[in-house]
Structure 1
Amino acid sequence: MLFWWMNPLIKKGYEKPLEETDIPALGIEDEAGTQYSMFMNKIDASKSSLFWIIVSCYKREILVSGFFALLKVLTLSAGPLFLKEFINVSSGKEAFKHEGFVIVLGLLFSKCLESLAQRQWYFRTRRVGVQVRSLLSAAIYRKQQKLSCSASTEHSSGEIMNYLMVDTYRIGEFPFWFHRTWTTGLQLCIALMVLYNAVGPATVASVFVIVLTVMLNAPLAKQQQNIQSKLMEAQDMRLKTMSESLTNMKILKLYAWENHFKGVIEQLRELELKWLSAFQLGKAYTSVLFWASPALDQVSMEYSAHSQYPIAIKSGCFSWDSSENYNLRNINLMVKSGTKVAICGEVGSGKSSLLAAILGEVPRTDGVIQVSGKIAYVSQNAWIQTGSVKDNILFGSTMDKPRYEETLKFCSLVHDLEILPFGDLTQIGERGANLSGGQKQRIQLARALYHDADIYLLDDPFSSVDAHTATSLFNEYVMGALSEKTVLLVTHQVEFLHAFDSVLLMSQGQIMHAASYQELLLSSREFQNLVNAHKDIVNFPNDNMVDYNGDKSPFKREIAVVLDGGKESIKNAEFDQLIRREEREIGGTGLKPYLMYLGQNKGYIYAILVAIANIAFTSGQLAQNSWLAANIQNPGVSTFNLVQVYTAIGIGSIMFLLFRALLAVDLGLQTSRSLFSQLLTALFRAPMSFFHSTPIGRILSRRYYLASSKELMRINGTTKSLVANHLAESISGAVTVRAFKQEGRFFARFLELIDNNASPSIHCFAATEWLTQRLEIMATAILSSSAFIITLLPQGTLSPGVAGMVLSYGLSLNMLFLFSIQNQCSLANQIISVERISQYMDIVKYTQDASPVLKGVSCTFQGGDKIGIVGRTGSGKTTLINAIFRLVKPSGGKITIDGQDITTMGLHDLRSRIGLIPQDPILFNGSIRYNLDPHGHFSDKQIWEVGKCQLDEVINEKQGLDSLVVERGSNWSMGQRQLLCLGRALLRRSRILILDEATASMDNATDAVIQKTVRTEFKDSTIITIAHRIPTVMDCTRVLVVNDGEMVEYEEPQKLMQTEGSFFKELNEYRLKISRAGLQISS
């Protein structure tokens, strides 16, 4: 009741900065798991609304806190009664002897009881608020785990993040304000009764004023409700766009789109501030609050089993949404246990959708599907969880060292782990930022293999690796480690198809043919075309190649690369790991955050004016009461003059109060706008190393009692960012998590993070009540002492008016003293938000210590040359491209374009003049038009001309250029996304074009058409092509071969083919051997 249980923590916080381990663990009744179980039991047993279910969960605590709220109202209302009796005693109207001393004791008891009741009321409702927040957070997380892919397109990760990090906190405030809805009315009624007892019929005037105030306040409350709704919508839009931008920051930098997306976010922020301004101005006139509660729905999933066929689909029809453009139609598939099935077809034919349907991710509209057995899934776009390589492979399974080492060997990861600074304990950045595409894919394969499943669904896992690694993986992994497993493999590698028991040829969402490789060659013209396209590539048809020896354009650019990355020693794992523990200041905040806050947009002037207005208001109140007390019984002052002066002073005080409120609102809004703009600028200018090592969730979230309270607030901030980061990762990897049946483990981890965040919140509230109760007792002692001294004074020493004023101030002293200390502590706690923002304001200085990836690379790309870059996966090819874009800074040497060092060029100028088709095709929320031309520089006619990239037919089937693109482009296939990225390049017509595995997810026929299109449309440009498919670079001017970060060869491909011992020649001969082996089987 008196919060003595907080004493050890308060003492520890006074002696040293608190750490997470110092905070006591939550009791079982406060844990998120307990709250969620109770919530779900209530939902299952009741059909009531969410509000009433929450009320039923906490009805006991609501009733207990309601009792304390009632007790607080009654004891508070006793104050005026004691004051009236005390004035009577001062006037010599004692009802009995020593009545004054009795009143003093009654006042002391009443104020102590009031303090006890209010503190219990506040703490219990705050604690319930945290519990409500925990159960809603758990419910939202659990629901997002069950959202199908089609449903997830309607709720972006930014929206779900907003539900968790904003809405649940607002709803968690509801229990705190709930009892005010009836205590305010009750207190008003009691006050009117006391007033009527004191002044009689004159109370009617007070009632009239109250009714008038309520009538004037009602439309303001309605307006506040509408404004709050608009504010929440604007905040959702801004957070959604910001989350998408930060997640895809690398693409924004590569395309030089930072300023555009930063401008979009700032426009959305201005809209948000517009409604926030209206809302805050409304709060300056009214104290009515309105809270909105988002609804939650339940989603159920059903699983069926069939023992004879692990996968059985009969007349299956599947649709992502209401549109029929991307349906799977008339799917009939029976897969026997242990068989190997290959799935092939052109871009957008439904290959990945078929795997998603088997996983239960695509809603079934007709037919029957039965899947039995444990499933392992490898997605086309690799999903890597923040953590170590080892954690990603084990993925919640227990460690079996022999099986683990065997898995590394089958996935060709042994050599890669030897290169990584800490082997399999190396921390991987968010989404595998510090790994190559091939390394990420092989870690996914290792995760699937270690899972020891019955069914393996592999979605084009070899497109991100070189031919040698692909062959090794196919032989060792698919045909070796998975020899007794059921495997469905989506692939464009025709040379592997002959080894499968069955091949599915898909087109336009249907299985056109399903038979063995040999049978398809004899019966299917489409399959013959597919194989012939591969033959053409293997045999390098020169008639399809573009002649690059014509006249040179004056706009070509020459690129010279001279890098001298010296060896660096690894000193300490704590400092060299990529993902580091979030920084947290300790001790006092100092003046820096205050000065930083006031230093924004004339903040000092605003602060001075607010202080002056506050002093004037307080002085007016004092003068008003002093005038009334001194002259109420003065015969020389008429009643009219008394009221006139009193009213005039009151109106003046109100004007100063309004002026103070408006200034404070304007100061807050202007400072918020300035700090947000600076933070946004710092984030968009931050190097990629910052985003690699800082989870997006961490970015999106940010004395005696005072010493403990500050650290509790800081710990609350850091634990909150862990919750946000786990949610963001779970959303992006939802399909993989569901496929591996890891929802329970991820949910348990989320509950743990929720509890880690709830504990400092509850203890912070308890610390506040601990302090408040002691301050109130101190104020009560001062009040009682004052009343006792007045009682001891001879009668007539103080007039009844002065005595009443003194006790009236004594009664309000309790509240004023409390508010003063509370506001100081609250200010010190809230300024921590500015302190956390300040940390990110300096991120442009962020540096990441790491050993060099590229060492001693020296080469020149002549203007107009077509340069091919090849090498084993993880050899440093993409890093070289990142260096040209200045995403990474060379530790030695330099890169020049037309003789100018790129470090002397503006980043925007450099990146905007280089075209790129990236390895990971990223699309943004919006339309096809917006994704091709976000700046709106091109007409529709010009955009339609990029139909040369094979997308015009697909776009026309939908809504043309207005076709919807959801977050991450998940409603388009990987190949279609890469075609859209090619469309961007065709629009920009850059004189330097870089293709980073641009056609890795395309079939051979489409690849050939795209390569010819690029070489025709960019025949006068310098083209740098990173490719795993050797035929792609055979017609290049020169080929750069990279191995383990070093330049091995740089020469014309034909010369390299004629050079004995050439690394490039060996790569090509190995590819030819594998490819022709597959073709010979078909002959």
Structure 2
Amino acid sequence: MYYVKETGLRFRSALVDQVFAKSLRLSSRAQQQRSTGEITNLMSIDAARLQRLTVDLHTVWVVPYLILISCFMLYDELGISFVAGIAVILLVIPITLCLSRVMKRLQKALMDVKDRRVKLCYEVLAGIKVIKLQAWELSFTKRVMEYRTDELLKFRSYIVTQAISSAVYNGVPSLVAMASFVSYVLLGNALDVSTALTSLALFNVLRFPLFKLPQVVNAIVEASVSVKRLRDFLLDEERVVVGPGSLTAPGILVDRADFSFDAASTPPLQNVSLSLQSGDLVAVVGAVGSGKSTLLQGILGDATCSTGHVFRRGRVAYVSQQPFIQNATLRDNILFGLPFEHWRYERAVAVSCLVDDLAMLPFGDRTEIGEKGINLSGGQRTRVALARAIYQDADIYLFDDVLAAVDSHVGADIFHRCMLDILKDKLVVMVTNNLGVLPHCSRILVLVNGHVAQQGSYADLMQTKLELATMVATFQGGSAIDGDAAPVPFELKGNDVASPRPDADASDSATRAVDALADAAVARRKITLSDAGADDDDAAKDAIVVDAIPTAALMVKEDRSTGQVGWPIYLVWIQACGGLIAALGVLVVYLIAQGMTLCATLWLSLWSNHPQPSDQTFYLSIFVVLNVAYILCLFFRAVSIYLFGLVGAKELFQRLITQILRSPMTFFDTTPLGRIVNRLSKDMYTTDEDIPSSFGSILTASIAATSTIGTIVYVTPLFSVVLVPVGWWYLSAQQFFIATSRELQRLDSISRSPVYALLTETLDGMSTIRAYGVEESFRHRLRNLLDTNQRAYLLNFAVNCWLGLRLEFTGTVIATFAAFFAVWTKPTQAEWFAGLAGVSLSYAFQITRNLNIGVTTLSELETEMVSVERIHAYTTLPSEAALRQSENVAVQPMAAAWPSHGRIVFDNVTLQYRAGLPPVLRQLSFTIEPQEKIGVVGRTGAGKSSLVVALLRLVEVQSGIIYIDGIDVSLLGLHDLREKIAIIPQDPVLFSGTVRSNLDPFDLYDDAALWASLTRSHLDHKVASLDDVVEERGYNFSVGERQLLCIARALLKNTRILVMDEATASIDATTDASLQATMRVEFACCTVLTIAHRINTILDSSRILVMDQGAVAEFDTPSALLENDSGIFSSLVSHWRDDAPSL
């Protein structure tokens, strides 16, 4: 058996490895059809089912063999009467086949809804920050619970069918015995003690294979569903690897290609032809949704080339629009599996402008980066991904809007040092919305509505005065193609509050004044800063620390409980299932079922002692009634334990998902996503199905063993002398086994989480992993994690084998002494003793099986209860503050329309993300007046985004107070606060569903309001219906389109405060200009905080808040700040004026 189990384990590992490998080869079309949750289930549940089947298949040949031998011996004992028993078996077979087909159908439906539930859970966890910012926890809890309710309804249908199947299978021995004895008596035979007890013993031998048979059938049914699911997945369409074709040197050749992600829809990019070679610097520009990112994905092979051809020769480095960052050290993220080379690494870090960032990190480049770069800013994530690309020293570089997430002066530095310097001999294709870089590019592709509208050099395309010229004019702020550039108008009145409707002439005048001051500031700074960059390279070399230093761990190591699972955990499960009264009811059902079979056996013994023909009908009738009652009890027994567990499964899951969504953001920052998904998938599966089954098996085995021992002691009291040492031996082995198995199971559970974490991480970074050709490296990591997991699992089974040998010995001792004392005992009433002795012996032969099932299942239960322990640990996590606190006296006077003005005051605010970390906001104090438009700027790490974190209480401040319209926000419920502030986050997050559900998950607005928001956010041309499908994480929308949907969400809110965190970073200049004009009108009466990298988007702000090292460095009107030549803002504008227009 050990080798069979080892084979099953190898089989599971092979399946997990193949599923993982296949996920790396899926085409874009197949990826859209396969959610992360579904792939997780394939690796966790389906592979485990096939592993169990390899063990159960071993019994497939054993079961028929035992049945055949038992039937032959019964025929020898009962003669032709046994044909009735055979007839019962033959009658049961079609019934069981029908039940198995029903179970298979129900199992498939159950797995489908389970996939959808895990998929939604993964999406919720991946977008948890947006859910909290939008105060959507209750909506998504409801959505998840709807899936969960549907799952449990299907599971209830499945367990009722399974209970019928179990009752049929487990009742077969009783039915066979009943039919055989009835036939035996009707044929005129007298049932004596010898015949009855010998037949009873054989029927008990028959019980084991017939008991195993439903388990094997259930395993085959489940495995057949899993096989089909795995087969369908492994046969999914794979991406076509882009080959070199006729290219003899590094380059790209696209010939009349259409690129698509879905065969059923119109290709988002059509009829593309281009030929590129080393030394080309190609810029791809166009409006949101025009196909810019699709072009890069087509070159990579991620978008399917449905017509035409695409060829590529040379190694590729790729930086996606949403950079892929691993949960590893910053250095490992840059190396990406390559060996460390000092000079090469130093250069990559320097040209990516990461030197200052490394100096700020507590452990330099050995600082651990959280999942998806959670502890890095958007600009830092982009620059880490850029450094990774530079370190690769590839032939072809594909950059998807890498300049959007960084400050203008940093972007200019990156463009000069990377694209124009060290990559000047490489082929570089860059998608960009920063049209200022275009004069430096050798070729420009202008995409319009999925077609290449223009292609050529900057000078040639500008002379045509077509699409590109119009885009450049809009980017520069002009209204015509020719003429001087002028910023987009926005009213500016110094310290005065902006009027509700801006006057265009006044706005132009004010803006031109700021523009003139900016130009003057630039001129003055050029004199003082002309030599400032002389020693930049040397400083960079000094700042990069690459010596071996300790790694700063961000992710919290998963807790592993030790010792016995405490009774409180069992009580948690029992209380979730309905409490002690419900548990007592289940116990009574099991006792009645065991009582029925014991009564039937004792009645048979009594019957066999009265073989007179006149008594046969009476005894036979009672025997039949007892057996029918037993079979009915079997059904109710199976249903009762599963329905008991079903109540607990729903309750525990609701507690789990509710508490996870109520946990503070620090929990998600320090906990890998795969670890949380493991609780919601594998641990919940164990709680749903395994624990009720184990509880039922333990109750059955323990009650049967107790009745067996009681019967033996009653018949032969001397057996109690042997019972003490045998019991001591048994309990010693049991305790040693359970203690060892428990810890091994915990190790198994903990070592499984990194497997799921790697899967989710890999699926997130699929394009990057495939572009760099490191699929095998990730498969190697998976195999190492699987090996670690398998060590604990295999050792656990070895301990099971150790226990099995000792239990066989214990059972043999019990049976031997029971037989010895039965022969040695001299009864005073011999006429009934023979029957009872026979019953006790037949039970004694079963004791080994009952003891084995009891101990192994008890051990399995304790290890399975680790899942409840892990779930319970998450249900007791610290929570955020209350969602609603309207009962607080201090908040009672708050009007329903709060905030009515939008006045924000930070009073000596200090913010620290976690204990032990330095403050990110330091005694911050400033006041924002109602309707002011505040631009927030500062270098990376200055604390800009931390303002939003503090304002919306994603992390509670350590000291100080934040007031909105005079109310301390810490006294409000989180939803009271967050619902009243509209926010457009930097990372646009969408959820699977519809456009409607993404805009309005609570159904608060009518269709007219939703369409109005889409129109104002320039998405009405993209959306055909509010019920248009949004795929997982919004994959069927471009990043720019996702940002527009997030803007549409904000437009729906009737609020006095708007926070924009680089809201238009991934949007083209034309759409950006239109949106800026829309937001000026729509939010004219609102207080607006704009965190920006594009300086031009905030030059017309009422005031500028300049952050530096978590404190207010400058806070005044743009004109006043620009008069200070040595100020930070003046420096930023100087860089922008120097670099942005012409770079």
TM-score where L is the length of structure 1? 0.83
Q: Mean alpha-carbon deviation: is it higher for 873-882 or for 914-923? A: 873-882
Q: CA deviation at 1:790?
A: 4.3
Pair 1:688-2:665 in alignment: yes
| CA distance in 2: counterparts of 1:309 and 1:127, whole angstroms | 48
Contact 1:159/1:240 (<8 A) preserved: yes
Q: Which moved more, 1:198-207 or 1:378-387?
A: 198-207
Aligned residues: 936
Match of 1:478 among 409, 415, 419: 419
Q: 1:578 — aligned with what?
A: 554
Give the aligned partner of residue 852 of structure 2: 818
Identify the residue that residue 971 of structure 2 maps to in structure 1. 904
- Structure 1 spans left out of the alignment, 5+ residues: 1-119, 554-572, 1079-1083
Moved more, 501-510 or 646-655: 646-655
Which residue in 1 is equivalent to 2:719? none
Partner of 1:297: 235
- 2:742 maps to 1:710: yes
Q: For residues 793-840 of structure 1, what are the alpha-carbon distances to aligned partners after superposition, in whole Å with 9 as ceiling and x for unaligned?
A: 689978543332232111111212222222221221111111111221
* 1:155 alignment partner in structure 2: 34
The unaligned stretches of length 5 or more in structure 2 are 167-213, 479-483, 502-548, 680-734, 881-912
Matched, 1:498 2:377: no
Give the structure 2 partner of residue 421 of structure 1: 362
Q: Give the conservation status (yes or no) of the 8 Å contact 1:723–1:750.
A: yes
Structure 1 counterpart of 2:1054: 989
Q: How does 1:923-942 map to 2 (within 5 A)?
A: 923-942=990-1009
Q: Say whether residues 1:729 and 2:796 are aligned partners.
A: no
Provide the rounded CA distance (Å) in 2 between the counterparts of 1:770 and 1:363. Answer: 55
Deviation string, structure 1 residues 571-603 (Cα, Å, up to 9, x no partner): xx9997321221111121121211211222532
Map 1:729-878 onto structure 2 (within 5 A).
729-791=761-823, 799-844=833-878, 848-849=914-915, 850-878=917-945
Deviations along 1:593-652, whole A, 9 cap, x unmatched?
Answer: 112112225321122222233333334433332333244223689223322343444445
Provide the rounded CA distance (Å) in 1 between the counterparts of 2:437 and 2:330.
29
Question: For residue 1005 of structure 2, what is the amino acid of its counterpart?
Answer: F
Alignment of 1:365-444 (within 5 A): 365-444=306-385
Q: Does 1:131 align with 2:10?
A: yes
- Residues of 2 paired with 1:154 and 1:484: CA distance? 40
Greater Cα offset, 684-693 or 307-316: 307-316
How far residue 952 of structure 1 moved from its aligned partner, in angstroms, is: 4.0
Match of 1:914 in 2: 981
> Quick check: 371-380 or 929-938, which moved more?
929-938
Amino acid of the residue matched to residue 899 of structure 1? G
Q: Write the letter of the residue equivalent to 1:503.
A: I
- Measured in 1, the distance between the counterparts of 2:1018 and 2:500 equals 31
1:127-146 deviations in Å (ceiling 9; x for gaps)? 33222211111111111101
SS at match of 1:945: helix
1:663-719 per-position Cα deviation (integer Å, ceiling 9, x unaligned): 312210111111111111110001111111111111111331112111111111111
CA RMSD of aligned residues (A): 2.4
Structure 2 CA distance for partners of 1:1068 and 1:170, relative to 1, 3 Å = same
CA distance, structure 2, for counterparts of residue 950 and residue 838 of structure 1:
44
- 8 Å CA contact 1:326, 1:350 repeated in 2: no
| Aligned: 1:1061 with 2:1123 | no
Aligned partner (choices 1077, 1080, 1100) of residue 1015 of structure 1: 1080
Q: Who is 1:260 aligned against? A: 139
Specify the SS of the correspondent of 1:190: helix
Q: Deviations over 1:520-541 (max 9, x none)?
A: 2212422211221222279554
Q: Distance in 2 between matches of 1:753 and 1:331?
A: 43
Query: Does the 8 Å CA contact 1:603/1:671 hold for their aligned counterparts?
Result: no
Q: Which has the larger displacement, 786-795 or 246-255? A: 786-795
Deviation per CA, 1:260-280, whole angstroms, max 9, x where unpaired? 011000011011111111212
Q: Which moved more, 1:356-365 or 1:186-195?
A: 186-195
Between the aligned partners of 1:678 and 1:142, the Cα distance in structure 2 is 35
Task: Give, in whole Å, the separation in 2 of the partners of 1:407 and 1:835.
Answer: 46
Q: Deviation string for 1:77-134 (max 9, x for gaps)?
A: xxxxxxxxxxxxxxxxxxxxxxxxxxxxxxxxxxxxxxxxxxx3xx444333222211
* Range moving further from structure 2, 383-392 or 816-825: 816-825
Distance 1:720 1:543, change over 3 A: closer
Q: 1:579 to 1:1066 in 2, by over 3 A?
A: same
Q: Which moved more, 1:988-997 or 1:168-177?
A: 168-177
Q: Which residue does the alignment assign to 2:106?
A: 227
Q: Would the alpha carbon gap of residues 178 and 954 (structure 1) be closer, same or farther in structure 2, given more than 3 Å must change?
A: farther
Following superposition, the deviation at residue 438 of structure 1 comes to 0.4
Whole-angstrom CA distance in 1 between matches of 2:585 and 2:552? 49
Match of 2:654 in 1: 677
Task: Decide which of 453, 459, 478 is 1:512's aligned counterpart.
Answer: 453
Cα 1:772–1:686 shift into 2, 3 Å = same
The aligned counterpart of 1:445 is: 386
Q: Distance in 2 between matches of 1:616 and 1:504?
A: 80
Q: Which stretch shows the higher mean deviation, 849-858 or 245-254?
A: 849-858
> Match of 1:559?
none
Asked if the contact 2:981/2:1057 (under 8 Å) is kept, the reply is yes
- Which amino acid in the other structure matches residue 397 of structure 1? L
* SS of aligned partner of 1:427: coil
Aligned residue type for 1:231: L
Cα displacement (A) at 1:215: 4.5
Pick the aligned partner of 1:275 from 130, 139, 154. Answer: 154
- Distance change in 2, residues 1:950/1:840 (3 Å): closer
Q: Where does residue 208 of structure 2 map in the other structure?
A: none
Structure 2: how far apart are the matches of 1:280 and 1:1048?
66
SS of structure 2 residue aligned to 1:387: coil
Higher RCO (CA < 8 A, seq sep 6+): 1
Instruction: Write the distance in 2 (CA, Å) between the matches of 1:575 and 1:655.
Output: 63
Do the aligned partners of 1:944 and 1:952 also contact (CA within 8 Å) in 2? no
Q: Hey, what's the Cα distance between the residues in 2 that align with 1:830 and 1:1075? A: 61
Using the alignment, how far apart are the partners of 1:790 and 1:300 within structure 2? 74
Whole-Å separation in 2 of the counterparts to 1:501 and 1:405 = 28
Q: Alpha-carbon deviations, 1:524-579, whole Å to 9, x = none? A: 422211221222279554745488856679xxxxxxxxxxxxxxxxxxx9997321
CA change 1:1077–1:952 in 2 (3 A) is closer
Tell me which moved more, 543-552 or 1032-1041.
543-552
In structure 2, what is the Cα distance between the partners aligned to 1:716 and 1:848? 30
Identity of aligned residues (%): 35
Q: Which residue of 1 aligns with 2:643?
A: 666
CA shift in 2, pair 1:178/1:582, >3 Å = same
Aligned: 1:628 with 2:660 = no
The aligned amino acid for 1:930 is: S
Is the Cα contact below 8 Å between 2:1019 and 2:1045 reproduced in 1? Answer: no
Q: CA deviation at 1:791?
A: 5.0
Distance 1:601 1:173 in 2: 27
Q: Which AA in structure 2 matches 1:594?
A: Y
Which residue matches 1:12?
A: none
1:545–1:1012: 8 Å Cα contact kept in structure 2? Answer: no
Q: What is the alpha-carbon distance in structure 2 between the residues aligned to residue 465 and residue 1011 of structure 1? A: 20
1:928 Cα deviation (Å)?
2.1
Structure 2 residue 1135 is the aligned partner of structure 1 residue 1070: yes
Aligned 8 A contact 1:439 1:874 in 2: no
**For residue 469 of structure 1, what is the aligned residue in structure 2?**
410
Q: Give secondary structure in 1 for the equivalent of 2:101.
A: helix
